[in-house]
Amino acid sequence: MKAKILLLFLLILILGLSNCNSKRYEHGEILYKNFCSSCHMDDGTGLVGNIPPLAGADYLGKERDKLACIIRYGIKGEIVVNGRTYTQAMEGIDRLSDAEITNVINYINTAWGNEFPFVPITEVQESLKNCKK
Ligand code: HEC
């Protein structure tokens, strides 16, 4: 009897852990849906000609240290994403905490087949200190 309970307990623990792992950036995903998807779309494809994509965007890899600043303070002027030029400005979203920005970045870095490396909060905070506002 005791062994069965122990086994059940282990099973729940394992299920719980694996579940947690597969939803690593769940919080980032919720934030993305609330604050970003209206422009960049649920599938990260953006809007042809106006809003740059995040899915498969070379920008995320090349400009890794700018991402936190873009999210907090916005960005205007010309930028090139996957060889296309975008000129519309993006407003900053100053409501997001450092941790929330980190979660969103790690979500977009790994969503839709993206495989950009993990960004720790310490790196986000370092980037935020050096934003050109
Ligand atoms: C109101 C529309 C809008 C919202 C909301 C928005 N963006 Fe943007 N975003 C833009 C536009 C437009 C650009 C291009 C700016 C430029 O051309 O200078 C951009 C550029 C970017 C870029 C750099 C280019 C790229 O495609 O890699 C990133 C990263 C980004 N946004 C992430 C986000 C994230 C994360 C959120 C939510 C926290 C968000 N954006 C919310 C419109 C938006």
Q: Which two tokens stand for residue 93?
A: 């979203």
The answer as to whether 78 is a domain residue is yes
- Burial (Cβ within 10 Å: 0-12, 13-18, ≥19) of residue 67: buried
| CATH number reported for the structural domain that contains residue 104 in this entry | 1.10.760.10
The answer as to whether 89 is a domain residue is yes
Q: C-alpha angle with apex 11: 7 to 12, nearest 5 degrees?
A: 120
Q: How many A from CA of 1 to the centre of ligand 1?
A: 57
The rounded distance, in Å, linking the Cα atoms of 34 and 48 is: 21
The tens digit of pLDDT for each residue in 2-16 reads 777 777 777 766 666
Question: Measuring CA to CA, how many Å separate 56 from each of 15, 61, 81, 107?
Answer: 31, 10, 10, 13
Quote the percentage of the chain above a pLDDT of 70: 89
The tens digit of pLDDT for each residue in 36-77 reads 999 999 999 999 889 999 999 999 999 999 999 999 999 999
The answer as to whether 19 is a domain residue is no
133 pLDDT band (50/70/90 cuts)? low
- pLDDT of residue 124 exceeding 70, the answer is yes
For residue 55 and ligand 1, the question of a CB distance below 6 A is answered with: no
The answer as to whether 1 is a domain residue is no
Structural domain including 106 reads 25-129
Q: How many A from CA of 20 to the centre of ligand 1?
A: 28
